[in-house]
Amino acid sequence: MSQYYQIKTRTALGEFHRKPIIAPKSRANYIINYTRATQRTNPKFNSQVLFRERVARNKSLPRISADGIAQERVHELATYESRINSSIETDREQEQCLLQHPTPPPPVIRAARPEDVEDILRLIVDLATYEKEPDAVKATPELLRTNLFGPTPYAHAIIAYVPASDKPVGLALYFFNYSTWTGRPGMYLEDLYVSPEHRNFGLGKALFGALGRIAREKKCARLDWSVLKWNSPSIAFYEKTLGATQMSEWVGMRLDEEGIARLERFELGGPAKGMEA
């Protein structure tokens, strides 16, 4: 009388069905048919097939019985089924988590307004603290209001919001310059900052996207900015994500307020007529 062993295999739809394996009376043929059948359900079992078939034909199986092989196979399938069930349960938990915590709406990027000067100054101070120079900030709300939103604005700013915050968490402050080589205007990014707790969510990319749109509208040939040498994460972001190149052949130069005052000694008899800005 034939014996039946119920072997669980997984279908393409992720379901399980039971597949009977018929064991003939002949012990050797049983093992050969059994091992051949397992080739279709367990690729890892293939390495043992030829050896067991050869031994079965020689009728030399003193320690391995057909029942033992079947028990081993059933144990393997039970372990596999347990892993599948665990994976399914994990997927269900992740699905429930997504349902309870849906993807938040995208951040809001907009041009700064006069009522934003307090938040702009806060982000400027945060950036100076991050760059290890918190005492270098001399700006005040009045100065920002005059120079960003006055009759002659010298710079412009865009800010970033996230839905969970009622205050800006990102800032890009820029102004326009001119290139004699290209004969076209350029954009210089003075400050770019995102609060640490809101990084790695695409806010930096969104701010650069807004800057790029403005630069295209103004027909800018270049977008330049500076970064501290020790700020490796930002340098990697600029090079790998944005595709920016380092201006290694150029050295930045600066005159502070006192240095500008010293330039007076080089004037030829006072300011020339028509030279005032």
Of 84, 83, 31, 38, nearest to 61 (Cα)? Answer: 31
SS3 category, 137: coil
118-123: long-range contacts, CB 8 A cutoff, minimum separation 24 = 119/159, 119/167, 119/168, 120/144, 120/148, 120/157, 120/159, 120/168, 120/171, 120/173, 123/159, 123/168, 123/170, 123/171, 123/191, 123/193, 123/195
Of 58, 75, 64, nearest to 7 (Cα)? Answer: 75
Query: In the block, which residue shows the tokens 């347990």?
Result: 82
Catalytic residue list contains 238: yes
Of 10, 20, 121, 8, nearest to 74 (Cα)? Answer: 8
Strand (E) or helix (H) holding 173: strand 170-179
| Whole-number Å distance between alpha carbons of 35 and 55 | 12
Catalytic residue of the set 5, 30, 193, 238: 238
Catalytic residues: 238
